[in-house]
Amino acid sequence: MRLINRRPEAGFGRLLMIVPFVLVVLTYLIASAARLAENPADKLLPSPASMMAAVTRMAFEADKRTGDFLLWVDTSASLGRILAALAIATAISLVLGIAIGLLPYLRSLAGGFVAVISVVPPLALLPILFIVLGLGETSKIALIVIGIAPFMTRDLALRVSELPPQQIIKAQTLGASSWQLVLRVVLPQLLPRLIDGLRLSLGPAWLFLIAAEAIASESGLGFRIFLVRRYLAMDVIIPYVIWITLLAFLMDRLLVLLQARAFPWFAGARATA
């Protein structure tokens, strides 16, 4: 039988899914044990026990100097930033994306500009951002927004232009004004597609968040990672990376769930389009 026609049974398939995870963990454990046998104080590949201790210390014990539970302070600071940035980027990209996708004048005016802006590497412009917006929360959120909004705008404008022209004509024959067309035909069909765009933007958003926090900050997951990197505290960094991965994964799943729940028509429409 050809390889392309061989399929694992359901149970075995699930088993296969966890194999890479188990392999990574095992490789780590072996390498860590070997390094620790050489040098019990090795910091590069800490043991699970010392990572657990670090997690306990960061998450469940108040910090000696500040009295804060650092992991939660960091998490809420980072989540606050990333959610604010995602909300702003969503609002900007919805307005601009619909306008560019639907209005020929705006397409001429802004389409090319957004296309160019979306390939500008925002990290290189950080000094300007700092000077214009200061070193506080604003510039961090702005960095994420600048990093993802142009891409989302382009994506949404494209999705608008992919709506069948018949629909736009049809809505007009039902008497819809441009505004009504946006409100009743374009926007509701764009929202589930916006979720697709948001999901794709999560990766870059986290990257920009961590970059922004690394540069100037007092709290945040990225801040902590770059701070403790100063003394190679991988026992903190590795659990933080796992935590960030988990948060990003959960956000992605939540968006998928939201898409299915809030837009029950979308899966069918996508399948038949």
Partner 1 sequence: MTVSKHLTRTLVAAAAALLVWHAPAEAAPKKEFKLAWSIYVGWMPWQWAADHGIVDKWAKKYGIKIDVVQFNDYVESINQFTAGGFDALTATNMDTLSIPSVGGVDTTAVIVGDFSNGNDAVILKDKKALTDIKGQKVNLVQFSVSHYLLARALESIGSSEKDVDVVNTSDADMVAAWATPDVTSVVTWNPIVAEIMGTPAANKVFDSSQIPGEIIDLTVANTETLKDNPDFGKALAGIWYETMAAMSAKTPDGAAAREAMGKASGTDLAGYEAQLAATRMFYKPDEAASFAKSAEIGATMDHVRTFLFDHGLMGDGAASADVVGIELADGKVLGDKANVKFRFTDTYMAAAAAGKL
Partner 2 sequence: MSVLSIADVWKEYGEHVVLEGISLEIAERSFVALVGPSGCGKSTFLKMLLSEERPSRGSILLDGAPLAAEPEAGRGVVFQRYSVFPHLTALGNVMLGLEIGASRFWGKLWGARRRAAAEEARALLEAVGLAEATDKYPAQLSGGMQQRLALAQALATKPRVLLLDEPFGALDPGIRAEIHQLMKRLWHERPLTVVMVTHDMSEAFTLATRVIAFERRRNEPSDGGRYGATITQDIPVWPPRVAGQVTGLFESPGRDDPAPVAGTSRDDLALQGVRA
Q: What does 131 interact with, of partner 1, partner 2, none (CB < 5 to 8 A by kind)?
A: partner 1
Q: Which residue has the tokens 């149970």?
A: 11
Which of 15, 26, 34, 256 forms a contact with partner 1 (CB under 8 A)? Answer: 34
Q: What does 18 interact with, of partner 1, partner 2, none (CB < 5 to 8 A by kind)?
A: none
Calpha distance 218→137 (Å, rounded): 10
CB nearer to partner 2: give 27 or 180: 180
Residue ranges in 232-261 that form contacts with partner 1 under rule CB under 8 A: 232, 234-235, 237
Q: Name the DSSP class of 88.
A: H
Region of 67 on the Ramachandran plot (φ > 0 left; ψ -120 to 50 alpha; else beta)? left
Does residue 69 interact with partner 1 by CB under 8 A?
A: no
Q: State the nearest-atom distance from the C-beta of 252 to partner 1, in Å.
A: 20
Assign 3-class secondary structure to 23-60.
HHHHHHHHHHHHHHHHCCCCCCCCCHHHHHHHHHHHHH
Q: State the nearest-atom distance from the C-beta of 159 to partner 2, in Å.
A: 13
Binding mask 68-97 for partner 2 (x = CB under 8 A): ------------------------------
Calpha distance 96→212 (Å, rounded): 25
Calpha distance 30→197 (Å, rounded): 40
Q: Which stretch binds partner 1 (CB under 8 A): 87-95, 121-129, 181-189, 197-205?
A: 121-129
Does residue 271 interact with partner 2 by CB under 8 A?
A: yes
